[in-house]
Structure 1
């Protein structure tokens, strides 16, 4: 009381504190306050054994309790427990066995005797809470001040409880005093919160890991669509939260439905839940509930005959023998469940056989619980039977019954699971205590580098060492706790096997565990798994089938993440894995395959020698070159004839040579564009055509000069158009074009370019002109010379010669200009290789136009009408044409 008031008024005025202390001191000196009494003492069923250090235990040794009426007209009576639980009693004896085994071990806690104080929680929160408070504070009804406390001391640590709900309530209070509590069966993930439960530990994995273990099984079999049934308590609700978090989009699965199973038998609600299961497309049903829920649920499942489901069991009902009946196997056969790790405890059976009620000596085992066990096992009574009980077949216990002669679940140690956790919990507390007692004075972890000792041992000191426990059980399992008090998790995976003879066997088909180095590992022996389907294969349970490579997932509006449509990737994008969320774009030089599952190099598109268009243009170009060569040969062979000599044979030969170059330069526009072809094609084209048009221009000027010289006083004009002047003029005009080309190539040279704008699925190789101005000047210069030639020839079209060269030049220039005027818009509007084809076509068309217009009539006369190849016929003045 003094400490309480000092804590409350710690920051108040010192005078007020002194007055209060004086008052309390005087009050305590009075006889009325010479001792402090407990509010009440709980009457609990338990088993006790004295020791230097006492460990507490909370176990379910009875199924239920009954409470008296609370009228508050007299002192309330305490609840009584009923329904002996043989499994809970075996857990109690496992703790007693572990304690005695540690006491016999000279290497663990030498010179220290462990005792225990174990209570029955009757599967009731109120009784379990009473027991925990009794363990933490002691049982003495009266404690006299200033005297050494005697009687049953408080425990140093507690093994328990079996229920998450009870552990939450009890550990919340015990955590205030930092009393360590090591649970063997509480799995709620909420207990991992170190802020709320600072001294809670457990040797069973939390539900969070159990959920992850189930999710790993779902992933292993490709089950992305499952239903979830949970109990309406901490166990089920926290599991549902974990499933919704871990099984979401990143976890690779979805819950088709989540239903809460009612605590009390509610046929209407159960019928609704089973209807949901029937209508759902999910073939896998996860049940995170207790076996009582499953019993009620299976009644409705049998009524509606719901088969074809793959059940997944949480550890709460994986081993429930009440469900493993031939009546339920058509529905529950093949169940996969998560079970607590099975272990082996050598010597436990021999220890259990020693349990015997001593009717003559009140030793530690001679208590109510041992008597209940004896009555349960041998169907007898220690108390005198009521009237008629013996006649009904009962008998009195003699105490001489032999356990070895009885087949009982109590002695079946072939499937030790929660017992193994109890065993590990006791040893964890023992190892922590042993480590604390080995502390060297002056080198301890507590304030002032002090150590804990048996005389002044505090529970919070044990918590420090319990956090660092690390040992290996005789069965080979490592036991250590993480920062949240959770043990390194390991679960067995069980399968309900329905044998052909009708027998039922629950067999181990794998395990899932987490190690400090390898993380979570799942091991499954698929050959041992029994599937309760006609195919004897794992079922398919998906909302939507997986999207193959080449498609992406598109969620269905208003549906869970696992329900989606598969959309084919658009052109230029691929997905190369199953269930891709997005399609990825191919690199610039690649395109998607027809299946959209990988990128392929884009087709290269250019004016090729191998395609029909390229072949036609190449053939035409070579044909034009050959014709020029043939015409040149004809002119050379007939060079002394009047028609050749009259048409300025030297310029004709130069013109034929330039036309041949024009035909050949078109070949540079065909084939794979390279830097040298891009640079050469326009330069060769420009120079060749300027050479050609220059010859025509000079030829036209010579015709006009000759005509002018034929008139009186015109002889002087011929001196400006001699052979040397003609060659010089052609050379000068051509050099101007060469200079334009050189400037263009130096300033902004044409280069090959990969164009992806015309077609998405192919790369168009083309030559970009570089400088548009340079290209325009090149064409403009050719056009200028052509127009000038056309105008001069047009002026000389009516000369009086019989064979008027000017008319032919006029017609040829008309064709030339028409072709190139049409070329410009066609070239600009044509994409890729077709722009090159248009330019080649313009070159060939204009070249053929000049060749045919200028040399066609002459070749016709030379070859077909030689009688007209005379000077008289050519001059033809005043002579009618024949």
Structure 2
């Protein structure tokens, strides 16, 4: 036998021992005879948690404590629902519902009523092995009102699968159907109440709050639930959390409790948090708020949990309006026609208790004190909308609809039979009906998904003291703002409760201390942006093709910079390239027309066309420098132009060498000269230089990428410079070194032949073109080491075009001029005379 089973058997033995033959115990305070009885557990008197009754074996006397208005109001709701059902011809026709209601004194009197409901009509409870065919005193229990009492009673009733429907116990523990299989409720769980609070705080941008909890199970459980939810959110922080002491039954604080309350109020006075969430039974708050008034604490927003959000006694402390704005979470407002008059009516019971021989010495239906006090608060109760009352009302109707199905009722009659609670429980779980416009049913956890209201306390005469300002749907988990709140602030401004003020757009949060809600605002530098949906604490860098200004929330595309056709440098270079192309084409045609003349042959013969064709192609390919660079254009820049230029320089160098070789070395080294001529030395040299150049270019492109890149303009970050990969520059410098070598070779051989015959003396022209090529290449390398961007592209293109022009016009131009304007000098005789004169001078 487990611990819980042993405890249950001990309680049953205690009940059996206390019940002697011929004695009746004062159990039910309000009762009504009927075919089937419902048990009701209500707090008709207010008693905070006390253990004084455990020192003697007597049932607590609840009437020793102060009357609890809301408890009596809820009890009247059950009576009203039962009488309304008994007067209804369509629901349970021919069946009378009765009730047995017991005052649980909030917490003090829980065990005894549970055992009483489980006992039979004669207050006797048998010890059996199987209770499947056992018929207890009632078929279902409505209540009690708080989670701690509900759990205590359910621990007993669940062993017998006695249906229990609570109307305001919100503890999440009650969702566990393995532990509480017979527990149902007509109110959303604490999770939804806390979620409504969190969304309410998010609605008004409160992220710096104070949490006060009572020193009992209710306060601790809900406080922990809120803390866990805020940790999950990460957007709301708790400045501090304190425990409100629960006063003694005499409603007097002891010395230690008084010190604790003073410490709480001292913190409230100096904290920057202006929102206070309070999880506590209303019984523990009367003295606390009196102390708040005595300390003159003002300008706070008090968020009430469901236990005290619509308490008329606390609301009757009208000076509370000066302490700030009161908001609360409670069940939705549903008006019950006729209940307001029923609540305060004075009537005598028309039916005596069945099977009872002795009258009970209780106030029963004629509780003058209850009625008088309720009548005093009647206006407030009416204006408040009878919120929790509907939970009791719907609980009774749920049992009635389950009975209606279980008894197989039709429009006229029901089949009256024995109703075992465990069978009725299955019917109650499956009920689905409409009541006063609301569709009611129990979900898998045994909860009715009723709407929650956020209410504001008002003290204006004749108005609703608990006015709805927002609504929360447990089904959709969404809060809807439906009415403006009247803030207790100057100019009705929404109170600010933030550890740190909100940052300006584009400012990141720098954490200060342990709380994520406390931070400094730091500007996001240019080139970064702040994405609030992902990270509020770090500025993210913009992608390479984008940029942002200081404190930007997004990046924008940079203005792309590259050589364009409409720019002046592009137009100038294009004109030069066109001039070079047409002049080279003209030279090509002239040389083709006079190919057999001595002038063309002295310039190189067929090798001239090997120079002119690359020059023409190079001038045509100038547009690859204009527009956004691509892989193809970068390939042309790195490979095509440098190979063409190297072919031209190698041809000039070998032509200079060949002239010197003919006139100066042929006589001295006839065998070497013969070998040179026999194996076509000039073409082999040009081919070798070209192969080496192609190998250098290919290796440079294979070792590094040729993809174009974008680079930030160092002078203007808003501009993205599009250019070929940096290896383009490195390759250009490396290839230029080879071109410089060829230029030096051509210059040297031309200088060695400065004394040759005039028609063969090309030293001036070759020297000019080679000197220009040398100096331009050096200038370009120097410029590239200092500058960057489009200027480098312009200079590279300009130097390339000018180098080709220097070769085209500087080398071929004078020869073309002689062919066209001095044809008499382009004859074999003239060339032979010049050679004879040179030979005679040498001799």
Fold-level match, TM-score > 0.5?
yes
Counterpart for residue 446 of structure 1: none
CA contact (8 A) 2:155 2:180 kept: yes
Alpha-carbon distance in 2 for matches of 1:713, 1:241: 107
For 2:55 and 2:227, the matched residues in 1 are separated by 46
Superposed CA deviations along residues 30-54 of structure 1, whole A, max 9, x for unmatched, are xxxxxx8656674335222222211
SS in 1 for 2:477: strand
Tell me if 1:563 matches 2:563: no
Change (3 A) 1:676 1:213: closer
Distance 1:503 1:664 in 2: 94
Q: 1:245 to 1:141 in 2, by over 3 A?
A: closer
**Does residue 1:132 correspond to 2:114, yes or no?**
yes
Partner of 1:531: 487
- The aligned counterpart of 1:226 is 209
Distance in 1 (alpha carbons) for counterparts of 2:148 and 2:644: 98
Structure-2 residue corresponding to 1:508: 467
Aligned to 1:244: 227
- Tell me which of 143, 150, 155 is aligned to 1:160: 143
Contact 1:283 1:310 in 2 (8 A): yes
Aligned partner (choices 524, 535, 542) of residue 580 of structure 1: 535
1:64-94 alpha-carbon deviations (Å, 9 max, x no partner): 599999988xx86864632444543343333
Between the aligned partners of 1:678 and 1:801, the Cα distance in structure 2 is 43
Q: 1:56 aligns with which of 36, 39, 61?
A: 39
Whether contact under 8 Å (2:47, 2:283) holds in the other structure is no
Matched with 2:500 is: 544
Structure 2 CA distance for aligned equivalents of residues 378 and 819 of structure 1: 112
The change in CA–CA distance for 1:771 and 1:542 in structure 2 (over 3 A counts) is closer
Tell me, in whole angstroms, the C-alpha distance in 2 between the residues paired with 1:188 and 1:347: 31
Q: 1:344 — aligned with what?
A: 335
Instruction: Give the aligned partner of residue 243 of structure 2.
Output: 260
Map of 2:826 onto structure 1: none
Q: Which residue of 2 aligns with 1:789?
A: 746
Name the counterpart of 1:24.
Answer: none
* 1:494 aligned onto 2:455: yes
Q: Which residue of 1 aligns with 2:261?
A: 270
Select which of 380, 399, 408 maps to 1:429: 399
The yes-or-no answer on 1:81 pairing with 2:69 is no
Is the aligned partner of 1:409 residue 2:369? Answer: no
Scaled by the length of structure 1, what TM-score is found? 0.72
- SS of the counterpart of 1:176? helix
| Partner of residue 702, structure 1 | 659
Residue aligning to 2:184 = 201
Q: What secondary structure is seen at the aligned counterpart in 1 of 2:465?
A: strand
Question: Contact 1:751 / 1:767 at 8 angstroms: preserved in 2?
Answer: no
Q: How far apart, in 2, do the equivalents of 1:91 and 1:439 lie?
A: 29
Within 5 Å, which residues of 2 pair with 1:280-359? 280-324=271-315, 328-349=319-340, 351-352=342-343, 355-356=346-347
Larger gyration radius, structure 1 or structure 2: 1
* Distance 1:117-1:593 versus aligned 2 partners, 3 A rule: same
Q: Is the 8 A contact 2:187 2:448 kept in 1?
A: yes
CA distance in 2, matches of 1:577, 1:594: 16
Deviations along 1:181-220, one digit per CA (max 9) or x if unpaired, are 1112322232222222221112233322211122222222
SS of the residue aligned with 2:160?
Answer: coil
Assess, with a 3 A threshold, how the Cα gap between structure 1 residues 299 and 536 changes in structure 2: closer, same or farther. Answer: same
Q: Which structure would you say has the larger RCO, counting Cα contacts within 8 Å and 6 or more residues apart?
A: 2
- Aligned to 1:247, what secondary structure does the other structure show? helix
> In the aligned structure 2, how far is the partner of 1:812 from the partner of 1:693?
13
**Rounded Cα–Cα distance in structure 2 between residues aligned with 1:408 and 1:839:** 95
Aligned to 2:439: 478
Please state how far the C-alpha of 1:95 moved relative to its aligned partner: 1.8
Which runs of no fewer than 5 residues in structure 2 stay unpaired? 7-15, 248-252, 819-829
Partner of 2:368: 374
Q: Distance in 1 between matches of 2:345 and 2:175?
A: 38
The answer to whether the 8 Å contact 1:494/1:506 transfers is no
Q: Is the 8 A contact 2:470 2:480 kept in 1?
A: yes
Distance (Å, rounded) in 2 between the aligned partners of 1:836 and 1:68: 96
The equivalences for 1:138-153 within 5 A come to: 138=120, 140=122
Note the alpha carbon deviations across 1:336-377, whole angstroms, 9 max, x for none: 222333333333355456533589999999852248722565
Q: Is the 8 A contact 1:472 1:479 kept in 2?
A: yes
Describe the superposition over 1:658-690 as per-residue Cα deviations: whole angstroms up to 9, x where unpaired.
Answer: 878877766643443356644555435533552
Matched residue SS, 2:643: helix
Change over 3 Å in CA distance of 1:436–1:359 after alignment to 2: closer
Question: How far off its partner does 1:130 sit?
Answer: 1.0
* Pair 51,60 (structure 1): closer, same or farther in 2 beyond 3 Å: same
Asked if the contact 2:299–2:325 (Cα under 8 Å) also holds between the matched residues in 1, the reply is no
1:158 Cα deviation (Å)?
0.9
The CA distance in 1 between the partners of 2:765 and 2:188, in whole Å, is: 105
2:172–2:191: 8 Å Cα contact kept in structure 1?
Answer: yes
Give the alignment of 1:683-698 within 5 angstroms. Answer: 683-691=640-648, 693-695=650-652, 697-698=654-655
Q: Are the structure 2 counterparts of residues 53 and 504 from structure 1 closer, same or farther at C-alpha, using a change threshold of 3 Å?
A: closer
For residues 592-611 of structure 1, give each alpha carbon's deviation from its aligned partner in whole angstroms, at most 9, with x where no partner exists: 46544223334434445566
Using the TM superposition, give the Cα deviation of residue 142 of structure 1 relative to its aligned residue in structure 2, in angstroms.
6.0
Q: Please say if residues 210 and 240 of structure 2, whose CA atoms lie closer than 8 Å, have aligned partners that are also in contact.
A: yes
How big is the shift at 1:740? 8.5
Range moving further from structure 2, 776-785 or 218-227 = 776-785
C-alpha separation in 2, matches of 1:318 and 1:616: 81
Matched residue count? 780
Aligned-partner SS, 2:82: helix
Question: In structure 1, what is the equivalent of residue 429 of structure 2?
Answer: 467
Q: Secondary structure at the match of 1:369?
A: coil
3-state SS in 1 of match to 2:278: strand
1:383 aligned partner = none
Question: What displacement does 1:584 show?
Answer: 5.8
Cα contact 2:768–2:810 (8 A) shared by 1: yes
2:115 & 2:166 partners in 1: Cα distance?
16
Asked if structure 1 preserves the Cα contact closer than 8 Å seen for 2:272 and 2:497, the reply is yes
- Contact between 1:178 and 1:459, CA under 8 Å: does it hold in 2? yes
Q: 1: distance between equivalents of 2:343 and 2:758? A: 142
The residue number in structure 2 matching 1:26 is: none
Distance of 2:572 and 2:206 partners within structure 1: 63
Secondary structure at 1:479's aligned position in 2? Answer: strand
**5+ unaligned residues in a row in structure 1: which ranges?**
9-35, 380-402, 441-451, 862-869
CA gap 1:139/1:487 in 2 versus in 1, 3 angstroms: same
d(CA) in 1 for partners of 2:326, 2:737: 88
1:754 aligns with 2:702: no
- Greater shift after overlay, 831-840 or 166-175? 831-840
State the shift of 1:118 in Å.
1.3
Label 1:362 to 1:174 Cα distance change in 2 as closer, same or farther (>3 A). closer
- Look up the match of 1:97: 80
**Superposed displacement of residue 332, structure 1:** 4.0
Equivalent position SS for 2:86 = helix
Contact 2:37 2:98 in 1 (8 A): yes
2:390 to 405, 408, 420: 420
Task: Write out per-residue CA displacement over residues 567-626 of structure 1, whole angstroms, 9 at most, x where no aligned residue.
Answer: 5557665444467346666556444465442233344344455668x5598389569949
Equivalence map 1:727-876=2 (5 Å): 753-756=707-710, 765-767=722-724, 786=743, 788-797=745-754, 805-806=762-763, 809=766, 813=770, 816=773, 836=793, 839-840=796-797, 843=800, 846=803
The C-alpha deviation readout for 1:219-272, integer Å capped at 9, x for no partner, is: 222222222112122222121122112223436422222221111233322221
Which residue in the other structure is 2:554 paired with? 598
